Structure 1
Amino acid sequence: MYDAILYETADHVARITLNRPQARNALTDQMIEELLDAFGRARDDDEVRVIVLTGAGDRAFCAGADLGGLGAAQRDGRPVADPEAIRASAPYRLFTAFPRLGKPIIARLAGHAVAGGLGLAAACDLVIAAEDVTLATPEVNVGLWPMMIMAIVNRNVPPKHAFRLYYTGERIGAAEARDIGLVTEVVPRADLDARVDELARLIASKSPLALRRGRDAFFAVEGRPLEDQVAHLLGELVELAGSADAKEGIAAYLEGRAPRFRGA
């Protein structure tokens, strides 16, 4: 069904693979359109409870995007930002799609994550990286700046660390990326698949309804005043507490058995 990605499901997990290893899995408009379609499939499939995003091969998770299709108009023969074109562009739609996935997404980094590829990994909820991968925002080296991914990186990394990445363009190792908040866990390369599978299975065993409502609430309250956050989250808790999954979870706990969640 796809040319630039692979999509497969098993055991409540959808695995999406960027499949251009000869080009270090660099993002093209076609790949982004296919990713958006795959995200929609995973979101709408009740059998899918967790998404794993990875790149083919062990050279690169993703080397970023080309500069085409970024939402430019022409004025006096020069490209300028056009708000309507920007919102219609493939990169804009990709990076704004993550909060609406409705399901946890894990990035599996067996290769380097650079520029937009770093942003793609950082947009995921969890990032599991092999210990020998590196991450970087090298845009400044060619007279650019990581504008497209900065909003995402800034949500994960304290300012002093973010500025060092942006100003220098230097690569950092997986362990340092974990220490500054870009990566969740670092594991030996030989253990990467086992750890990603273990984590995906663990999350998939939880209530699909709680995962979706909780994740949606996380993004819904982001940046709002504390009073608004508490009011919104309390309302969500009241509704979730009345769900069949919550009742089943409590009953299973009291009976000393594993819960049988149905996502309702």
Structure 2
Amino acid sequence: MVKFEIEGVRAKITIDEPERRNPLTAATVSDLLRFTQEANAEPEVRCIVYTGAGDRAFSAGGDLGAGFFDDPLGLHRSRGAIADLFRAMWSGEKTTIARVNGHALAGGFGLAVACDVTVCVEHAQLGMPEVGVGLWPMMISVPLLRAASPKVVYELMATGRTITPHEALQLGLISRVVSRDDLDTTIADIVGSLSQRSPAATALGRTAFNALGGMDADSALDFLQNGLTAVTMTEDAREGLAAFAEKRVPGWASPSAEGEPE
């Protein structure tokens, strides 16, 4: 089960099976994809927050219970949904935030790392233990390799060891480590900060940022030159520079809401 809600500039997507540590079943991944697409289509939404229900786990990953081998072809097809989810997360204009409220393992760890910003409680366990049951974290290799070096990622995959949030932070896999008491305040601060920034600049900048991964240096520089020209031609750029010169708060022309709800 997955819950979806929009609060001001923030869409929140919650995996809601805390008694099972919020597994990524085929139905759950399908719902995550659908709600991500819905959030991407909402002009007032500036960011999408992914989290798990309860305080035990963000997500323990795929469901390895009964039926895992019953329909190989059907399961193969359903695994394409996680690829489509990552594509939807990376191709949209919304900043994605992982609110990691507990353990994030296997596919759950991949989902957390796939977000633009990953905020993790300090007591969580993180890792990819699939090799211990004769599997390999295939699909999540892409977001992991976008975040950390191949040597770091391979060692974690091949040994299956879990790591602490502080080690994950040092390896570049997450953004912040906070106490449980500070988790929601930190998320609210990030959302509030995003809501005060230019929607046009953020959307164009995020698109450019995510496009760089597959480019060589020369292609990237040409692409970014065009991107810089595009962002300077927006109404937000004119307003931002005028506000800077006049020492006032800019009033963005692009759609936005007033900020984080109470």
Specify the code of the residue in structure 2 equivalent to 1:257: R
Q: CA deviation at 1:230?
A: 1.0
Check if 1:242 corresponds to 2:233: yes
Q: Determine the structure 1 residue equivalent to 2:142.
A: 151
Specify the code of the residue in structure 2 equivalent to 1:22: E
1:228-256 Cα deviation digits (max 9, x unpaired): 11111111111110111111111111111
Which of 178, 203, 219 is the aligned partner of 2:194?
203
Which of 195, 204, 219 is the aligned partner of 1:228?
219
Structure 2 alignment gaps of length 5 or more: 256-262
Which of 6, 14, 17 is the aligned partner of 2:14?
17
Structure 1 distance, partners of 2:116, 2:217, is 22
Q: Determine the structure 1 residue equivalent to 2:260.
A: none
Which of 144, 161, 164 is the aligned partner of 1:173?
164
Q: Determine the structure 2 residue equivalent to 1:44.
A: 41
Specify the code of the residue in structure 2 equivalent to 1:37: R
1:120-147 Cα deviation digits (max 9, x unpaired): 0010001011111110100010111111
Specify the code of the residue in structure 2 equivalent to 1:214: G
Contact conserved, 2:37 with 2:88, CA < 8 A, in 1?
no
TM-score, length basis structure 2: 0.89
Structure 2 distance, partners of 1:27, 1:101, is 22
Check if 1:59 corresponds to 2:56: yes
Structure 2 distance, partners of 1:28, 1:136, is 18
Specify the code of the residue in structure 2 equivalent to 1:153: L
Structure 2 distance, partners of 1:250, 1:23, is 51
Q: Determine the structure 2 residue equivalent to 1:192.
A: 183
Q: CA deviation at 1:66?
A: 2.8
Structure 1 distance, partners of 2:30, 2:121, is 28
Stretch deviating more after TM superposition (111-120 or 218-227): 218-227
1:162-201 Cα deviation digits (max 9, x unpaired): 2221122111111001000111010111111101110111
Structure 1 distance, partners of 2:85, 2:41, is 17
Structure 2 distance, partners of 1:102, 1:72, is 35
Q: Determine the structure 2 residue equivalent to 1:109.
A: 100
Secondary structure of 1:51 counterpart: strand
Q: CA deviation at 1:28?
A: 1.5
When the two chains are superposed, the root-mean-square deviation of aligned CA atoms in Å is: 2.0
Q: CA deviation at 1:227?
A: 1.3
Q: Determine the structure 1 residue equivalent to 2:29.
A: 32
Q: Between the two proteins, what is the percent identity of the paired residues?
A: 39
Secondary structure of 1:209 counterpart: helix
Q: How many residues align?
A: 251
Q: CA deviation at 1:72?
A: 4.9
Secondary structure of 2:230 counterpart: helix
TM-score, length basis structure 1: 0.89
Structure 2 distance, partners of 1:91, 1:106, is 17
Matched ranges for 1:68-83 at <5 A: 72-73=72-73
State the structure with bigger RCO (CA 8 A, min sep 6), 1 or 2. Answer: 2
Q: CA deviation at 1:21?
A: 0.9
Structure 1 distance, partners of 2:100, 2:149, is 22
Structure 1 distance, partners of 2:203, 2:214, is 20
Q: Determine the structure 1 residue equivalent to 2:3.
A: 6
